[in-house]
Amino acid sequence: MNVTKRAAMYEQIERHGEDLKTIFNLPADTDPVKLCKKLFSIEKRIHRIMVNLCNTNNVQGIEPHYEMRNGVRSWVQIETPEEEQDRIFAGFMAKIVKILGDSADLVIFNHDPRGYTLKISDRVMKEKSLSLYSDWGGYGIIAPDFSA
């Protein structure tokens, strides 16, 4: 990435971070770039889990396979129980609340791996007239990838 593109990307990240600070009533001294980087890191990790759950019904992405047990070839499908999934999502939400504060209840998880995972619903975006990077459905994107 050349210097001009990199500068434009950081300008977008900073503008997005400032929008997030306004929406979530964060302190004025919050660094918008660090804020976006923290949220993007969470977005990448939870998105990978959503893809794994969609493809294998396992948070680690372990494919079903055959194993030999006591001389018998048997089909093994390792699934992550819903309770475990709920615990994982609750852990991610706790991290988001720590970053965004009390207004983090605006954040929803999109379980469809074809798009971003951390979003603000289209209803809230319209009701509050929020200005934020959004998808075609009108959902606000919390941690978009500006590197493209």
pLDDT tens, residue by residue, 106-132: 999 999 999 999 999 988 888 888 888
Which residue segment(s) compose the domain that 37 sits in? 3-141
Please compute the mean of the pLDDT values over residues 61-74 and round it to a whole number. 85
Residue 147 covered by a domain: no
Radius of gyration of the chain (CA): 19
CA separation for the pair 142, 144 (Å, rounded): 6
Residue 146 covered by a domain: no
Residue 53 covered by a domain: yes
Residue 97 covered by a domain: yes
Average pLDDT for the chain: 91
Residue 78 covered by a domain: yes
Residue 49 is encoded by which pair of tokens? Answer: 């889990």
Residue 15 covered by a domain: yes
Number of domains in the chain: 1
Residue 18 covered by a domain: yes
pTM: 0.87
